[in-house]
């Protein structure tokens, strides 16, 4: 998820709260049984494989993505 997607998610959350959208029709219901986390601060030298290797010791990794900024790209 990039920073624009994250900002959009926050706006969508706020709008759903204002409208009183029920949980059963919220976009959150799609992910209710998922454990999505954001982790940052890794050394730039690590590859996607390195990070998956570390996390797979604790949990099955089903999705992984790097978020790049103009600083890290």
Report the C-alpha gap between 44 and 66 in whole angstroms.
11
Residues 48 and 22 reside in one and the same domain: no
Residues 22 and 39 reside in one and the same domain: no
Residues 39 and 22 reside in one and the same domain: no
pLDDT of the residue at 71: 64
Residues 40 and 22 reside in one and the same domain: no
pLDDT greater than 60 at residue 73:
no
Residues 17 and 40 reside in one and the same domain: no
**pLDDT tens digits for range 28-44:** 787 777 777 777 788 88
Residues 42 and 66 reside in one and the same domain: yes
**Alpha helices per DSSP H over the chain:** 3-19, 48-55
Query: pTM of the full predicted structure?
Result: 0.44
Domain membership of residue 50 as a residue range: 35-73
Residues 13 and 44 reside in one and the same domain: no
């Amino acid at each position: 998820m990039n920073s624009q997607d994250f900002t959009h998610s926050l706006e969508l959350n706020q709008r759903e709260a204002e409208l009183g959208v029920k949980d059963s029709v919220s976009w959150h219901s799609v992910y209710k049984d998922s454990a999505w986390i954001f982790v940052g601060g890794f050394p730039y030298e690590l590859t996607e494989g390195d990070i998956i290797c570390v996390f797979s010791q604790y949990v099955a990794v089903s999705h992984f993505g790097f978020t790049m900024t103009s600083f890290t790209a």
